[in-house]
């Protein structure tokens, strides 16, 4: 008895479940879904009007898989995809999984030096790319780096004859279905299937290497927690090149027979709400800044969002006021907060559909099935009592194999017990729910006082003149660090002043938590996963 009481008091939790982990490859899981729901819609691309039933989607995945085999792609070869959200992205995701290739996700916003680094570091041998995105001419950028990437032997452009040749299997010759079946028989669910480059805030990003088992199970259990069935239709304005789109979105959908809806090549708030309305979506994803943009549309009230019931808000902490509006005004009564990182496939904790408003707005949920989390003293590594702030660590099926070809950096992130150290400051409450306090490196030490930016940001989101806010510490001769509020005004013509903010905070925040500096911005610098680059805010405005 005494042992269990002491154990319960620690900041440790594991997700028990009567539902077993999936012990199959992504291709095998898709085949089961196609067999169960051949006539249901699998994929809808709103911009082009193209639609696939699961039978059609499975057939097109197989056709592309045979084309990749004909192009000489072997098990373990790295196939890069550098493209905006489109059906071809999704087909490539599943086709590479079926042949045992490792899909390398490349951010569509990358410029030449970033593209060169990823192609070379991952050893990409075949690249699938968009022709263009916004002001980027992808063909010109690829041509400019090919000389520095000797391992890159083929490039196929979506919407170009080279893509048609790849799908047709004419490069160099046709491959029979039997060869695809034979290749699949060689695969294990523990094989690497995906490399995702984490959004490094300094230096080059690192390639988190993920297996079938990692990402298929994470997508499945996120979908289970949301209550997905074959009747759900998921609007996905989040990028496929990140876990949010391809795991929490695509794999959650296909493992449940649900429909993937692509509203636009990249995020557009109006296009997103139009897609929800026209396709009768039941679920909508986004980072908080996306939901803020949708809610702030001048004609927001004109969209029929009555079919929505759930969705995911993730990527960065959700302001309480934004969550309340999403529930009340977007009909998303079962919206879920997810927390995780690319290196953990990605979700470790999630709020539940029946959670009350306080849990849904004040925490990032509790541990998912088959996952462990603990909160440790960053200096000693010892597990803290519940209620204490420390570093959040997670362990289980979702932890990556490691950073591609970087064992030293892997060892810095994953300890000998296979715990992934997140770098996030968190508190585990008595009820097991987790609150993210901030990043260890973002914590502000002002005059000896520890200040957590998240607390101040939450508070300032209730200010009527503030649409969004980020708080960072900047150098100060007297206090060591001072508090800077970077604010996007709700109305640029009537922005808040520092005096406004000071008066708003004075009676309700301790004096040392009140921002002493203010910067008014139009947008925040963002990472590929939707997190604000606070290091850039500090660097730009810390002088």
List the structure tokens of 314: 């993730």
Angle, helices 288-295 vs 269-278, to 10°: value is: 80
Euclidean distance between CA atoms 93 and 87, whole angstroms: 10
Bridge partners of residue 207, in order along the sequence? 197
Q: Which residues of 225-251 are buried (b: 16+ CB within 10 A; e: fewer)?
A: bbbbeeebbbbbbbbbbbbbbbbbbbb
Which run of H or of E encompasses 402?
A: strand 402-403
pTM here? 0.87
Dihedral through CA 373, CA 379, CA 385, CA 386, nearest 10?
-50
Taking only the tens of pLDDT, the chain with its 543 residues reads: 233 333 458 999 999 999 999 999 999 999 999 999 999 999 999 999 999 999 999 999 999 999 999 999 999 999 999 999 999 999 999 999 999 999 999 989 888 888 999 999 999 999 999 999 888 899 999 999 999 999 999 999 999 999 999 999 876 667 888 999 999 999 999 999 999 998 654 467 899 999 999 999 999 999 999 999 999 999 999 999 999 999 999 999 999 999 999 999 999 999 999 999 999 999 999 988 899 899 999 999 999 999 999 999 987 767 778 888 999 999 999 999 999 999 999 999 999 999 987 888 889 999 999 999 999 998 899 999 999 999 999 999 999 999 999 999 999 999 999 999 999 999 999 999 999 888 888 888 888 787 888 889 989 999 999 999 999 999 988 888 999 999 999 999 999 999 999 999 988 888 889 999 999 999 999 876 677 889 899 999 987
Find all residues with CB under 8 Å of 284, minimum gap 6, and list them.
234, 235, 237, 272, 276, 308, 311, 330, 332
Vertex 89 angle, CA 24 and 343, to 5°:
55
- DSSP state, 123? T
Query: Which residue carries 């390639």 as its tokens?
Result: 207
- Return the closest-CA partner of residue 10 out of 280, 373, 259: 373
DSSP 148: G
The verdict on whether omega for the bond into residue 520 sits within 30 degrees of 0, i.e. cis, is no
At 163-213, the pLDDT tens digits run 999 999 876 667 888 999 999 999 999 999 999 998 654 467 899 999 999
Kindly report the length of the chain. Answer: 543
Q: Which one-letter DSSP state was computed for residue 282?
A: S
* Displacement of CA 264 from its chain's centroid (Å): 17
List C-alpha distances in Å: 207 to 195, 200, 302, 380, 458.
6, 10, 43, 28, 32
Query: What does DSSP assign to residue 379?
Result: T
What pLDDT, on a 0 to 100 scale, did the predictor assign at position 529?
65
CA dihedral 457, 463, 469, 475 (to 10 degrees): -70
Could you tell me whether strands 124-129 and 389-396 are parallel, antiparallel, or unpaired per DSSP bridges?
A: unpaired
Domains recognised in the chain with CATH numbers: 26-427 (3.40.50.12780), 444-541 (3.30.300.30)
Which two tokens mark 217?
Answer: 């199970």
CB atoms < 10 A from the CB of 301, how many?
8
* 8 Å CB contact between 457 and 471: yes
Over the stretch 91-132, which tens digit does the pLDDT of each residue have? Answer: 999 999 999 999 999 989 888 888 999 999 999 999 999 999
């Amino acid at each position: 008895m005494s042992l269990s009481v002491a154990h319960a008091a620690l900041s440790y939790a594991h997700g028990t479940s009567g539902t077993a982990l999936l012990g199959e490859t992504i291709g095998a899981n898709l085949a089961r879904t196609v067999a169960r729901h051949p006539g249901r819609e699998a994929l809808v691309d709103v911009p082009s009007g193209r639609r696939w039933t699961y039978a059609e989607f499975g057939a097109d995945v197989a056709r592309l898989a045979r084309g990749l085999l004909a192009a000489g792609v072997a098990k373990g070869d790295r196939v890069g995809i550098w493209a905006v959200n489109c059906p071809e992205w999704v087909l490539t995701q599943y086709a590479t999984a079926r042949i045992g290739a490792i899909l390398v996700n490349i951010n569509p916003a990358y410029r030449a030096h970033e593209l060169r680094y990823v192609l070379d570091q991952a050893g990409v041998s075949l690249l699938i790319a968009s022709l263009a995105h916004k002001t980027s001419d992808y063909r010109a950028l690829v041509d400019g780096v090919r000389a520095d990437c000797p391992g890159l032997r083929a490039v196929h452009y979506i919407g170009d004859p080279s893509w048609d040749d790849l799908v047709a299997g004419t490069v160099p010759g046709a491959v029979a279905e039997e060869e695809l079946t034979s290749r699949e028989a060689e695969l294990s669910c523990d094989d690497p299937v995906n490399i995702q480059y984490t959004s490094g805030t300094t230096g080059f990003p690192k390639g988190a290497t993920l297996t079938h088992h990692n990402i298929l199970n994470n997508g499945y259990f996120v979908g289970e927690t949301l209550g997905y069935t074959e009747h759900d239709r998921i609007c996905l304005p989040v990028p496929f090149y990140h876990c949010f789109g391809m795991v929490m979105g695509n794999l959650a959908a296909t493992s449940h027979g649900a429909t993937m809806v692509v509203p636009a090549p990249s995020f557009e708030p109006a296009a997103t709400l139009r897609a929800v309305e026209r396709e009768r979506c039941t679920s909508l994803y986004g980072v908080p800044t996306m939901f803020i943009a949708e809610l702030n549309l001048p004609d927001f009230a004109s969209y029929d969002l009555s079919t929505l019931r759930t969705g995911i808000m993730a990527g960065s902490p959700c302001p309480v006021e934004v969550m309340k509006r999403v529930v009340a005004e977007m009909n998303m009564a079962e919206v879920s907060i997810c927390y995780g990182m690319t290196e953990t496939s990605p979700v470790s904790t999630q709020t539940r559909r029946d959670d009350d408003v306080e849990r849904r707005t004040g925490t990032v949920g509790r541990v998912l099935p088959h996952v462990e989390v603990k909160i440790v003293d960053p200096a000693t590594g010892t597990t803290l009592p519940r209620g204490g702030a420390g570093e959040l660590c997670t362990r289980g099926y979702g932890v990556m194999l490691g950073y591609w070809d970087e064992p030293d950096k892997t060892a810095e992130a994953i300890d000998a017990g296979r715990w992934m150290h997140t770098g996030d400051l968190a508190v585990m409450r008595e009820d097991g729910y987790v609150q993210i306090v901030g990043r260890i490196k973002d914590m502000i030490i002002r005059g000896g006082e520890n200040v957590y930016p998240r607390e101040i940001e939450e508070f300032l989101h209730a200010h009527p003149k503030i649409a969004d806010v980020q708080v960072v510490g900047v150098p100060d001769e007297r206090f060591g660090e001072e508090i800077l509020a970077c604010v996007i005004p709700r109305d640029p013509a009537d922005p808040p002043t520092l005096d406004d903010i000071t008066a708003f905070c004075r009676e309700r925040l301790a004096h040392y938590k009140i921002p002493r500096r203010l910067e008014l911005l139009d947008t925040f610098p963002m990472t590929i996963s939707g997190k604000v680059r606070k290091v850039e805010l500090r660097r730009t405005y810390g002088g």
